[in-house]
Amino acid sequence: MWGDKRYHTLDWELKNTFGEKVIKLSLDGGFTCPNRDGTLGIRGCVFCGENGAGDFAGSPTLSIQEQILQQKKLLASKWPRGKYLAYFQNFTNTYAPVSRLDELYQDALLGDDIVGIAIATRPDCLPGETLDLLEAYANRTYLWVELGLQTIKPSTATVIRRGFDLECFKKAVNALQSRGIPVVVHLIFGLPGESREDYLDSVRFVAGLGVWGVKLHMLHVQRDTDLSQFYQEKPFPLLGRDQYIDVVCDALEILSPDVVIHRVTGDGKRELLEVPRWSLDKLRVLSGIDRELRERGSIQGKKYPSP
């Protein structure tokens, strides 16, 4: 058990490491993405909204320091005390010259109460000099790098216009891990054309990588995305709440108990989310996962390594 949870939560991991609550501050470093700036495409992944993955992040018109202050104020009523971690969330947060990355990451670490940084990026945006920089930061602060894999199924990767293949992803994970940089992988359950076995195949693959963390999401169809149009023209089955809870519990059983679970629900903005609306009730999803694991008499890692 990890506190009162049957899975290894990020909250537990950070409290255990730093001795108190660590609050993530979502920042926007003003990046774009090769899947949007014309390098690979201009429309991005089909589910990607106009803010990339960071609907709750600070505004890129503000400096990193201003965003940190703003985010701290915003979160103060929920968590009046704690330490902070700077989370570069929007778009591709290694997609700039190394000197610019260094400037932004250094700015983020200026305050004494900032204990580390988290960087979300793509596996095809990690050239050697960027890996060198990340390694240097990993040696001086608490750092992890997040990669959005979403699925291992090639046909789905094409449908969602992910823009990199599994080989590229594996190379990036190896490169990061060989430099001692913790990796967090994002997976989405409910992508069009995928079955429960497909989701679990992706989980089994990730379980075999020895990554530090995993984020599990349900598919969100958000307003003003290509996925929204696709869904209206050709609706595909969406996961119901109970189906999602069930598959998340299956995934947790497959993952090693050492893997830090960063998320088990989506985190979309209410006003942007079209379907599934049940996902807005995060507490119900979280308590459903707790209940299902309890009823199964199960715990994260129960089926690790995969039978």
List of residues contacting ligand SF4 (CB under 6 A): 33, 35-36, 44-45, 48, 52-53, 91-92, 122, 148
How far apart are the C-alpha atoms of 34 and 41, rounded to whole Å?
Answer: 7
Nearest approach, Cβ of residue 289 and ligand SF4 (Å): 25
Could you tell me the smallest distance in angstroms from the CB atom of residue 28 to ligand SF4? Answer: 12
Residue with tokens 């979280």: 286
Least CB distance to ligand SF4 at residue 36 (A) = 5
Decide whether 9 or 35 has the Cβ nearer to ligand SF4: 35
Give the position of tokens 């893997």: 259
Q: Which is nearer to ligand SF4, 121 or 300 (CB)?
A: 121
* Alpha carbons 4 and 11: distance in angstroms, whole number: 11
CA atoms within 13 A on the CB side of 137: 28
Please, what is the minimum distance in Å from the beta carbon of residue 99 to ligand SF4? Answer: 22
Question: Do 205 and 198 contact (CB within 8 A), yes or no?
Answer: no
Show the beta-strand stretches assigned E in 56-98: 83-88
Pick the closer one to ligand SF4 by CB: 6 or 220: 220
Q: What angle do CA 227, 228, 234 make, to 5 degrees?
A: 80
CB of 27 vs ligand SF4, minimal distance in Å: 15
Q: What is the three-class DSSP state of 56? A: coil
Least distance CB 92 / ligand SF4 (angstroms)? 6
Select 121 or 265, whichever has its Cβ closest to ligand SF4.
121
Nearer to ligand SF4, 20 or 165 (CB): 165
Decide whether 58 or 82 has the Cβ nearer to ligand SF4.
58
Q: Do strands 213-218 and 142-150 pair parallel, antiparallel, or not at all (unpaired)?
A: unpaired
Q: At what angle do helices 64-76 and 98-108 cross, to 10 degrees?
A: 40
